[in-house]
């Protein structure tokens, strides 16, 4: 069927590419400590990209059947489209990237329900009046791509995830704790998630007040994900760079960040949900260094952006549900350092630990700003966590914050499938608080 | 293209064959077009037609949900939803009573933005982009235009059959400036319930937006701390949505005993002058509709009247479990998701203070306008302004870089001490909840003044 669409498209256009993605996902969803809903989602998307008279056109559909309309729509939009500066990839060998475990499909629904019940039982045994929401999801997707230069790719991916969020309300005080874990293998235990949540509950037993001034800060892996990652992703996006809207766009090879900081994009790690053998344009996956010992090493490109920037695609062309490809990270990895989390806390006379920052994505991300309310964070006094802070706001800019890092943690972990990071210990962040 | 009316008749037959406490199905057909620009170049332009549907079943208080865009084996899909509901259910089902409805809500043909030629839309966006690029010191720009026209069919085992159509238009523009590695941006968001004219004739506003992005390069950053802030109607609308709207969505409250206690009707949340309303019944607003996605007629709900909590937003299930009337607020962003309790058009009713009176006695404060975004954890919320100015000795003073504000719902609403008489609705927003984003909503307010508001800064 895809072959026929390609054939039809080539009657009207010089180059063409057909991309299909089909997914099937099942989730057990728990609310108020009980199983509430089981849901199954099936979806197929077909996308056709053509290059006609040197310009790009594209269209999407949800059914393979109606190829005439798909081809007509793609050809119609090509008259307005951007000049295509690239060639679609010819046949190429892809790296071996393991992302499919057939065992995911055969996990019985009862077993996924059991995992959710187990998470809730563990947390409510520790804190009886907590109200938990939980999700256990699993699914598979299959991707296939064909282009007119003979390039073709296809792979299957499986995914499995656990999510837990707890709310503890006392008078008008609300505490939110939460953790998640994901893999391409079935997850069989819940201890990683529940240990993290119990740890958060323990540290939040007491309340503490942060003074309104500049304080040293430790970002936990969740804290890193909710604060500095969005500005970093924007800054390393080849498109932002091409437009001159990335503060580091002309800093290639220059030491912009602390020498201790190493960051790369890695779509090749085995059985990680962000991994794949090739990107959504059929360019082979590669590990791309972005920050090497503090210096800017590369930016992320898809085919079109790379052509305009006179460079090569890094295999980061990504389509969300069939839209035109755009550069996007697969998974960011920050290299671990040499200080344990416990040593970081011991090292601080007075400071903050940030576990969840709320609203950091709402400011001037392009400029590197992140500013938000500390939804979950702890006060440190004389080398010890003394309690949870509230009504506290932090204000930072990644180009100031990451220029000088006190230490990078030695314990690294995955957050939400798109980031692997250790804790980061930074010397100073502006804090405003209400007493 | 599959005809969803044909599918709906087949599904109606299938729903009858199954034993569940309740089953419903939704089918959708969606036409869209979109145009995006990055910098001076058009990046993407296209049209799409999609269709899909879902079946949701309730058995002993547990829900099963199956969504699909492959219309084969409808019987299997209904059976799957019912089987899942059986697995999930362990108590008894409760749903607010609803008389079956048969209705067709047509859409005026002349309000279909999707059929306007792409060339016409592109011409308008080209004009806006030229205005941005005519401004000195512009580094780059982004423009995103999207429209849609959706036909949805709802049917239930109780005998409801509702056909509704709606249309939507959104436009987001941003101007980005740069100087010595410093990047600043100013954006503009607009939307309408299908009226293309709502995004025409904005040339002056676009020029001002670009000019502000230039001014921000030399603007100072505010010092963090507590301030008296005055919010314009757009930002106050985001504030009421985040600070209180989400807390009045009862799916978060109904099974949480402590929260039910805090959110007891009659509790005082604000001063006598504070009235907050949510309603999908105002014609022409982006959050408006005749029936929600459970087939419940839209209503007007006072959430706060004279500072007192008097109502909340419900699905059929939350209404039944809290023994309150349903409000018609169950909405799903599309067929891939089950409906959940959502806001529609949410606003603070006008008061009687003028803007001049409001700022007259502020020695040092902040006037915050326009929006970047907002989010909430129920108790705490943050929202960010697109523009900010110092207020000094009762006058608007220097331009500041955009500010992020935060508050606590249990204290901040009580700190609203003045409400003006200039209610305005902002149609440019999209709301996210439970992975469903952006849902068309609108929110609005007159200018409001908040004492002791925490502002992030150096």
In this predicted structure, the answer to whether residue B46 has a pLDDT above a threshold of 90 is: no
Predicted pLDDT at B110: 66
Minimum distance, in Å, between the CA of residue B60 and any CA atom of chain A: 10
Task: Say yes or no: B140 contacts chain A, CB-CB below 8 A.
Answer: yes
CB contact under 8 A, B90 and A35: yes
Predicted pLDDT at B234: 95
Task: Say yes or no: B42 contacts chain A, CB-CB below 8 A.
Answer: yes
Minimum distance, in Å, between the CA of residue B140 and any CA atom of chain A: 6
Q: Which domains does chain A have, with CATH numbers?
A: 2-200 (3.30.2290.10), 206-435 (no CATH)
Question: Which residues on chain A are in Cβ contact (under 8 Å) with B220?
Answer: none
Predicted pLDDT at A157: 98
Minimum distance, in Å, between the CA of residue A268 and any CA atom of chain B: 27
Average pLDDT, chain B: 95
CB contact under 8 A, B382 and A373: yes
Q: Which of B365, B369, B370, B376 is nearest to B415 (CA)?
A: B365
Model confidence pLDDT, tens digit, residues B304-357:
999 999 999 999 999 999 999 999 999 999 999 999 999 999 999 999 999 999
Predicted pLDDT at B111: 76
Mutation target for B interface from A27, A41, A128, A389: give the one with most B CBs within 10 A.
Answer: A41
In this predicted structure, the answer to whether residue B1 has a pLDDT above a threshold of 70 is: no
Distance of alpha carbon B387 from alpha carbon B400, whole angstroms: 7
Q: Between the CA of residue A260 and those of A287, A296, B42, B70, B347, what are the distances in Å?
A: 19, 13, 40, 51, 49
In this predicted structure, the answer to whether residue A64 has a pLDDT above a threshold of 70 is: no
Average pLDDT of the residues in B277-282: 98
Nearest-by-CA chain B residue for A368: B183
Predicted pLDDT at B109: 62
Minimum distance, in Å, between the CA of residue A172 and any CA atom of chain B: 7
- In B, residues 171-210, which contact A (CB 8 Å cutoff)? 176, 178, 181-185
What are the sequence ranges of the domains in chain B?
Answer: 4-216, 225-455
Model confidence pLDDT, tens digit, residues A152-204:
999 999 999 999 999 999 888 999 999 999 999 999 999 999 999 999 999 99
CB contact under 8 A, B90 and A173: no
CB contact under 8 A, B456 and A239: no
Model confidence pLDDT, tens digit, residues A86-119:
999 999 999 999 999 999 999 999 999 999 999 9
Six token digits for residue B285: 């607003």
Q: What whole-number percentage of chain B has pLDDT above 90?
A: 89
Minimum distance, in Å, between the CA of residue B22 and any CA atom of chain A: 14
- In B, residues 219-238, which contact A (CB 8 Å cutoff)? 224-226
Predicted pLDDT at A65: 66
Predicted pLDDT at B457: 83
In this predicted structure, the answer to whether residue A142 has a pLDDT above a threshold of 80 is: yes
Predicted pLDDT at B372: 84
Which of A62, A246, A364 comes nearest B402 by C-beta?
A364
Which is higher by pLDDT, B215 or B180?
A: B215
Nearest-by-CA chain A residue for B178: A245
Average pLDDT of the residues in B208-235: 95
Which of A81, A246, A375 comes nearest B45 by C-beta?
A81
Predicted pLDDT at A362: 83
Query: Omega before B438 cis (within 30°)?
Result: yes
Question: Which residues on chain A are in Cβ contact (under 8 Å) with B382?
Answer: 358-359, 362, 372-373, 393
Predicted pLDDT at A67: 86
CATH number of B4-216: 3.30.2290.10
Average pLDDT of the residues in A223-251: 96
Q: What ipTM goes with this model?
A: 0.94
Q: Three-class SS string for chain B?
A: CCCHHHHHHHHHHHHHCCCCCEEEEEEEEEEEEEEEEECCEEEEEEEEEEEEEEEEEEECCEEEEEEECCCCCHHHHHHHHHHHHHHHCCCCCCCCCCCCCEEEECCCHHHCHHHCCHHHHHHHHHHHHHHHHHCCCEEEEEEEEEEEEEEEEEEECCCCEEEEEEEEEEEEEEEEEEECCEEEEEEEEEEECCCHHHHCCCHHHHHHHHHHHHHHCCCCCCCCEEEEEEECHHHHHHHHHHHHHHHHECCCCCCCHHHHHHCCCCCECCCCCCCEEEECCCCCCCCCCCECCCCCECCEEEEEECCEECCCECCHHHHHHHCCCCCCCEECCCCCCCCEECCCEEEECCCCECHHHHHHCCCEEEEEEEEEEEEECCCEEEEEEEEEEEEECCEEEEEECCCEEEEEHHHHHHHEEEEECCCEEECCCEEEECCEEEEECEEEECCEEEEEEEECCC
Question: Which residues on chain A are in Cβ contact (under 8 Å) with B264?
Answer: none
In this predicted structure, the answer to whether residue B458 has a pLDDT above a threshold of 90 is: no
Predicted pLDDT at B38: 93
CB contact under 8 A, A38 and B88: yes
- In B, residues 273-302, which contact A (CB 8 Å cutoff)? none
What's the CA dihedral at B72, B76, B79, B81 to 10 degrees?
-50
């Amino acid at each position: 069927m895809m072959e026929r669409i390609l054939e039809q498209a080539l009657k009207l256009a010089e180059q063409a590419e057909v991309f299909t993605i089909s997914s099937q996902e099942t989730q057990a969803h728990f609310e108020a400590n009980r199983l509430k809903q089981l849901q199954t989602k099936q979806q197929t998307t077909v996308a056709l990209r053509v290059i006609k008279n040197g310009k790009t056109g594209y269209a999407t559909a949800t059914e393979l059947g109606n190829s005439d309309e798909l081809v007509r729509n793609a050809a119609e939009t090509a008259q307005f489209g951007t000049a295509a500066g690239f060639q679609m990839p010819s046949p190429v060998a892809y790296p071996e990237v393991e992302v499919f475990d057939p065992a995911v499909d055969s996990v019985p629904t009862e077993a996924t329900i059991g995992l959710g019940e187990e998470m809730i039982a563990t947390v409510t045994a520790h804190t009886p009046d907590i109200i938990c929401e939980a999700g256990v999801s699993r699914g598979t997707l299959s991707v296939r791509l064909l282009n007119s230069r003979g390039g073709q790719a296809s792979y299957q991916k499986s995914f499995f995830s656990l999510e837990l969020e707890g709310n503890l309300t006392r008078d008008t005080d609300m505490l939110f704790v939460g953790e998640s874990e994901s893999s391409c293998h079935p997850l069989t235990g819940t201890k990683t998630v529940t240990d993290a949540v119990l740890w958060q509950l323990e540290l939040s037993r007491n309340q503490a007040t942060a003074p309104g001034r500049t304080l040293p800060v430790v970002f936990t892996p969740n804290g890193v994900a909710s604060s500095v990652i969005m500005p970093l992703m924007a800054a390393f996006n080849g498109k932002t760079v091409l437009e001159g809207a990335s503060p580091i766009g002309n800093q290639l090879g220059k030491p912009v960040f602390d020498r201790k900081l190493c960051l790369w994009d890695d779509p090749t790690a085995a059985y990680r949900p962000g991994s794949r053998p090739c990107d959504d344009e059929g360019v082979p996956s590669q590990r791309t260094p972005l920050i090497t010992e503090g210096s800017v090493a590369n930016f992320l490109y898809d085919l079109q952006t790379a052509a305009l920037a006179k460079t090569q695609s890094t295999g980061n062309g990504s389509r969300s549900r069939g839209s035109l490809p755009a550069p996007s990270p697969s998974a960011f990895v920050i290299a671990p350092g040499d200080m344990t989390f416990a040593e970081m806390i011991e090292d601080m006379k007075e400071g903050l630990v940030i576990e969840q920052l709320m609203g950091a994505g709402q400011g001037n991300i392009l400029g590197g700003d992140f500013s938000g309310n500390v939804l979950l964070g702890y006060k440190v006094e004389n080398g010890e966590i003394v309690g949870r802070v509230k009504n506290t706001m932090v204000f930072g800019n990644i180009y100031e914050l990451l220029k000088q890092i006190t230490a990078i943690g030695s314990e690294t972990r995955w957050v939400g499938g798109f980031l692997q990071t250790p804790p980061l210990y930074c010397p100073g962040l502006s804090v405003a608080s209400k007493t | 293209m599959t005809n969803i009316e044909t599918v709906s008749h087949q599904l109606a037959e299938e729903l009858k064959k199954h034993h569940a406490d309740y089953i419903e199905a939704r089918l959708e057909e969606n036409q869209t077009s979109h145009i995006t620009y990055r910098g001076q170049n058009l990046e993407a332009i296209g049209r799409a037609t999609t269709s899909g549907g879902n079946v949701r079943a309730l058995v002993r208080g547990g829900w099963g949900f199956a969504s699909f865009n492959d219309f084969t084996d409808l019987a299997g899909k209904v059976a799957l939803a019912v089987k899942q509901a059986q697995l999930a259910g362990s108590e008894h089902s409760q749903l607010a009573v609803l008389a079956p409805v048969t209705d067709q809500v047509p859409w005026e043909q002349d309000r279909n933005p999707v059929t306007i030629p792409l060339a016409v839309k592109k011409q308008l966006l080209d004009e806006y982009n030229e205005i941005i690029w005519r401004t000195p010191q512009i580094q780059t720009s982004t423009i995103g235009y999207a429209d849609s026209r959706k036909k949805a069919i709802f049917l239930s085992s109780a005998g409801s059959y509702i056909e509704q159509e709606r249309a939507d238009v959104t436009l987001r523009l941003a101007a980005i400036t740069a100087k010595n590695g410093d990047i600043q941006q100013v954006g503009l968001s607009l939307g309408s319930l299908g009226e293309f004219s709502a995004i025409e004739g904005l040339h002056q506003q676009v020029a001002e937006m670009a000019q502000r992005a230039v001014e921000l390069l030399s603007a100072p950053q505010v010092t963090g701390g507590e301030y008296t802030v005055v919010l314009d109607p757009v930002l106050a609308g985001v504030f009421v949505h985040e600070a209180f709207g989400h807390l009045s969505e009862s799916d978060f409250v109904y099974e949480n005993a402590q929260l039910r206690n805090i959110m007891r009707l009659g509790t005082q949340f604000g001063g006598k002058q504070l009235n907050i309303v949510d309603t999908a019944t105002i014609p022409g607003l982006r959050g408006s509709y005749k029936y929600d996605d459970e087939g419940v007629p839209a209503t007007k709900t006072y959430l706060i009247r004279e500072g007192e909590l008097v109502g909340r937003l419900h699905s059929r299930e939350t209404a039944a479990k809290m023994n309150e009337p349903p409000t018609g607020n169950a909405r799903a962003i599309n067929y891939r998701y089950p409906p959940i309790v959502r806001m529609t058009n949410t606003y603070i009713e006008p008061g009687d203070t003028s803007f001049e009176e409001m700022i007259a006695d502020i020695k040092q404060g902040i006037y915050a306008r326009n929006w970047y975004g907002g989010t909430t954890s129920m108790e705490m919320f943050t929202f960010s302004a697109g523009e900010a100015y110092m207020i000094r000795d009762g006058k608007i003073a220097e331009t500041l870089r955009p500010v992020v504000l935060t508050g606590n719902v249990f204290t901040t609403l009580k700190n609203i001490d003045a409400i003006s008489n200039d209610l305005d609705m902002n149609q440019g927003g999209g709301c996210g909840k439970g992975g469903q984003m952006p849902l068309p909503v609108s929110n609005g307010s007159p200018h409001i003044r908040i004492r002791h508001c925490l502002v992030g800064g150096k």
